[in-house]
Amino acid sequence: MEKTRRNFERAHDLFERKLVSREVFDNLDSENRLAQNSLEKAERRLQLVEDKLRKTKVVAPMDGTVLDVPVIEGQVVIAAASVNSGTALMTIADLSRLLVVTHVNQVDVARMGSNQQVKLHAESIREAEMGAKISLVAQLATVKNSVKGFTVKALIDKPDPRLRPGMTVTLSIPIASAEDAVSVPIAAIFKGEGNKKVIYVRNGETTERREVKIGVTNTDYAQVIKGVEPGEEILLVEPDRAGRKKS
């Protein structure tokens, strides 16, 4: 193309000075046009080849770490379409943003919400405590291990580098709190009349039976809102049962 262009430009200059014939000028003009046409065809063929090459390159949608490659070299893969999901080439993950998926009993899920802070420990690295934030509380209940509950997802703020996808973790989700609370062991609370709760307070040689109002509880302790004061001595066994056991 460059050669024919230069020849045509020289011929055009000579033709204007009447130093070459019309036939020579027309022939060089035709050669220049043919070269331009050939160049355009070559550029279109190059574009087709580049388009095909781009289809052979698979670009990840994000930065991450390859977790799994289910295909092998030479295997035929299918592109995703409206009638199929295509062939999965690999699984990648951003290990700096790990998500915990758990199942929470329906009794507790009503007291949870998005952006709530939680704590978690991994079974394999128990000494490391990590923080997380609830990103999703499912709207529809599901049954898992015969327990009806809701799927809850929590995004780990700064995951420990040793944490890997698929590891088992334990979430501590605060659903209630109390400050400056008077608490007693769960074993010290007994059933009274109806739905009332009672405890037994030792006062010298005598034991007093008191009705109490219970607040926040966990698996070990219960908050006593009313009925007992800090420092009082309480019983972990009902007096009548203790007497029968002793006798």
pLDDT digits (tens, 9 = 90+) for 23-61: 888 888 888 888 899 999 999 999 999 998 888 887 888
pLDDT > 60? residue 246? no
Instruction: Please spell the DSSP secondary structure of 1-16, one letter per residue.
Output: -HHHHHHHHHHHHHHH
Note whether 92 and 59 are within 8 A (CB).
no
> What mean pLDDT, rounded, does the chain reach?
86
Among all chains, which residue has been given the structure tokens 């952006």?
Answer: 115
Find the mean pLDDT for residues 188-202.
88
CB atoms within 10 A of CB 227: 17
- Confidence category of residue 17, pLDDT binned at 50, 70, 90: confident
pLDDT digits (tens, 9 = 90+) for 91-141: 998 888 899 999 988 888 888 888 889 999 888 888 888 999 999 999 999
pLDDT digits (tens, 9 = 90+) for 215-235: 888 888 899 998 888 988 999
Helix (H, G, I), strand (E, B) or coil at 241: helix
Query: Does the pTM exceed 0.75?
Result: no
Position 138 scores a pLDDT of 92
Instruction: Please spell the DSSP secondary structure of 13-73, one letter per residue.
Output: HHHHTT-S-HHHHHHHHHHHHHHHHHHHHHHHHHHHHHHHHHHT----SS--EEEE----T
Residues ≥6 apart with Cβ < 8 Å to 133: 115, 116, 117, 118, 154, 155, 157
